[in-house]
């Protein structure tokens, strides 16, 4: 032992042995690690909003801020407004004669990294795409049109330069003249670009295409009004894999798979249409799509009468963040659908009316008439359940029904930020 201690390495060995023993005891007796709490997206208040929509000379745009509604005159230039969270803006046009006959409603959109639109193609309609650079810096966007035969716009819409503050109106016949139906994506490469599209059917009827929810494996298309006329579902699979889509209708009376229309095969990169007129009947409804791969969807609503008008709705998020429509008029109603269980929302008309609550039975769609007259805003706030909705405006004329529709998009009061995790990957190339 004496020789071991006197050895110059002996003391080092003893220290190592002692440390190893201490570490072993600490490891064995350590407390069980507490599970890391699962962190989901955070609900964060929106501080500022930029809203843009194409101008129409002689019309007024409704501008809603929480509790207030104002109207501002427009000219032919794009209308652009900035404000705090909760800002909404939009307008309605009403034409009773001529080629532009119809009710048309547009929601002023915020610049977005990507925008999807679904509707009739340039072969059957005059489709005008509006791109507006909302900033004082240049922007660039890529426009891709998908049709029944696949992506048909080629390189014509790639790398579109938009100067600071510039507004570009593009006739989609120049990009995809043969498309009967279409799904269109606008991707902002750099800068900030707001997107809108106005569609006038060759056979009559006009409206603006609402922005559709981005590709997902579950898509809910709400706000399909009841009554006569046609209802056509359009589904696009913009990826590289064919989609098998299960389709269910949620009407005022039941939730069901439509006979003969239970599923839909959508080839990769293409758009497929499905006539669901008899599937939903005369009932107001929503369609729920479940797919093997991400899809985008919308519905074309054709009115009745000697001169039929047209309206559009599209896939959208639930009302978990609330919603507001800045411009409504006489003949407006909400079409609300509850999925997975009963739902309840609070509805308020601005200005002047007290809010009221609306209960929607599980797996059912309910119409809520808005009795206010003149121009008004409507605000929908979630109370409970998973509720989706749309706003419909109708006016009956001797020559035929005027109609416009708009899915209830998430309010700009709140946004969901994805969870952040500590990881070395965030600093790695």
* Alpha carbons 314 and 299: distance in angstroms, whole number: 6
- Per-residue pLDDT band for 39 (boundaries 50, 70, 90) equals low
The proportion of the chain whose per-residue pLDDT surpasses 70, expressed as a percent, equals 88
**Mean pLDDT for the chain?**
91
Inter-residue contact 187 to 82 (CB < 8 Å): no
Kindly report, residue by residue over 278-297, the tens digit of the pLDDT. Answer: 999 999 999 999 999 999 99
pTM, entire model = 0.88
For residue 257, what is the DSSP state?
Answer: P
- Per-residue pLDDT band for 426 (boundaries 50, 70, 90) equals very low
Kindly report, residue by residue over 145-154, the tens digit of the pLDDT. Answer: 999 999 999 8
- Per-residue pLDDT band for 419 (boundaries 50, 70, 90) equals low
> Domain extents for the chain?
49-414
- Per-residue pLDDT band for 417 (boundaries 50, 70, 90) equals confident
Strands (E), 68-166: 68-73, 79-84, 88-95, 102-107, 114-120, 125-133, 139-147, 150-151, 160-162
Two tokens, residue 8: 């110059």
Kindly report, residue by residue over 154-179, the tens digit of the pLDDT. Answer: 899 999 999 999 999 999 999 999 99
Kindly report, residue by residue over 180-225, the tens digit of the pLDDT. Answer: 999 999 999 999 999 999 999 998 999 999 999 999 999 999 999 9
Instruction: Kindly tell me if the per-residue pLDDT of 411 is higher than 50.
Output: yes
Instruction: Kindly tell me if the per-residue pLDDT of 410 is higher than 90.
Output: yes
- Residue 124 CB neighbour total at 10 angstroms: 16
Kindly report, residue by residue over 333-376, the tens digit of the pLDDT. Answer: 999 999 999 999 999 999 988 999 999 999 999 999 999 888 99
Closest CA to 151 of 278, 270, 291: 270
Inter-residue contact 151 to 145 (CB < 8 Å): yes
Two tokens, residue 206: 């006009």
Instruction: Kindly tell me if the per-residue pLDDT of 42 is higher than 90.
Output: no
Inter-residue contact 356 to 366 (CB < 8 Å): no
Inter-residue contact 285 to 390 (CB < 8 Å): no
The proportion of the chain whose per-residue pLDDT surpasses 90, expressed as a percent, equals 80
DSSP 305-316: SSS--EEEEE--
Kindly report, residue by residue over 229-285, the tens digit of the pLDDT. Answer: 999 999 999 999 999 999 999 999 999 999 999 999 999 999 999 999 999 999 999
User: pLDDT at position 11, please?
Assistant: 57
Instruction: Kindly tell me if the per-residue pLDDT of 25 is higher than 80.
Output: no
Instruction: Kindly tell me if the per-residue pLDDT of 83 is higher than 50.
Output: yes
> Any idea which residue has 């922007």 for tokens?
139
Instruction: Kindly tell me if the per-residue pLDDT of 133 is higher than 50.
Output: yes
* Ramachandran angles phi, psi of 2, nearest 5°: -60, -40
Poorest-pLDDT segment among 115-119, 307-311, 349-353: 349-353
* Positive or negative: CA dihedral 179, 312, 52, 188: negative
User: pLDDT at position 43, please?
Assistant: 79
In the predicted model, what is the mean pLDDT of residues 421-428?
52
Inter-residue contact 62 to 90 (CB < 8 Å): yes
- Per-residue pLDDT band for 29 (boundaries 50, 70, 90) equals low
- Per-residue pLDDT band for 427 (boundaries 50, 70, 90) equals very low
């Amino acid at each position: 032992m004496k020789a071991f201690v006197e050895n110059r390495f002996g003391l080092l060995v003893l220290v190592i042995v002692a440390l190893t023993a201490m570490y072993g005891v600490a490891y064995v007796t350590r407390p069980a690690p507490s599970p890391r709490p699962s962190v989901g997206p955070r609900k964060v208040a929106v501080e500022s909003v930029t809203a843009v929509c194409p101008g129409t000379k002689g019309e007024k745009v409704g501008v809603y801020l929480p509790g207030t509604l104002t109207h501002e005159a427009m000219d032919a230039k794009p209308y652009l407004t900035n404000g705090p969270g909760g800002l909404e803006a939009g307008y309605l046009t009403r034409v009773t004669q001529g080629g532009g006959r119809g009710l048309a409603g547009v929601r002023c959109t915020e610049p977005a990294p990507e925008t999807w639109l679904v509707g009739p193609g340039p072969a059957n309609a005059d489709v005008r795409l509006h791109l507006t650079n909302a900033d004082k810096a240049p922007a660039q966007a890529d426009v891709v049109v998908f049709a029944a035969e696949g992506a048909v716009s080629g390189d014509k819409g790639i790398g579109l330069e938009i100067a600071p503050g510039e507004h570009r109106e593009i006739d989609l016949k120049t990009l995809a003249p043969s498309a009967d139906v279409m799904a269109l994506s606008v991707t902002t490469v750099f800068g900030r670009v707001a997107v809108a599209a106005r569609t006038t059917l060759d056979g009559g009827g006009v409206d603006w295409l609402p922005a559709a929810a981005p590709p997902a494996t579950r898509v809910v298309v709400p706000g399909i009004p009841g009554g006569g006329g046609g209802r056509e579902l359009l589904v696009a699979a913009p990826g590289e894999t064919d989609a098998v889509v299960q389709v269910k209708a949620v009407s005022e009376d039941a939730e069901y798979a439509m006979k003969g229309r239970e599923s839909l095969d959508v080839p990769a990169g293409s758009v497929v249409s499905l006539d669901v007129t008899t599937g939903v009947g005369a009932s107001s409804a929503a369609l729920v799509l479940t797919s093997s791969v991400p899809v985008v969807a919308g519905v074309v609503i054709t009115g009745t009468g000697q001169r039929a008008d047209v309206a559009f709705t599209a896939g959208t998020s639930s009302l978990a963040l609330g919603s507001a429509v800045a411009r409504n008029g006489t003949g407006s109603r909400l079409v609300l659908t509850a999925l997975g269980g009963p739902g309840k929302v609070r509805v308020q008309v601005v200005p002047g009316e007290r809010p009221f609550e609306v209960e929607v039975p599980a797996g059912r769609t309910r119409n809520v008439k808005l009795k206010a007259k003149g121009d008004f805003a409507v605000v929908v706030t979630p109370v409970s359940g998973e509720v989706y909705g749309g706003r419909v405006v109708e006016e009956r004329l001797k020559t035929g029904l005027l109609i416009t529709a708009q899915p209830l998009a998430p309010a700009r009061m709140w946004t969901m930020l994805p969870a952040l995790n500590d990881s070395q990957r965030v600093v790695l190339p």
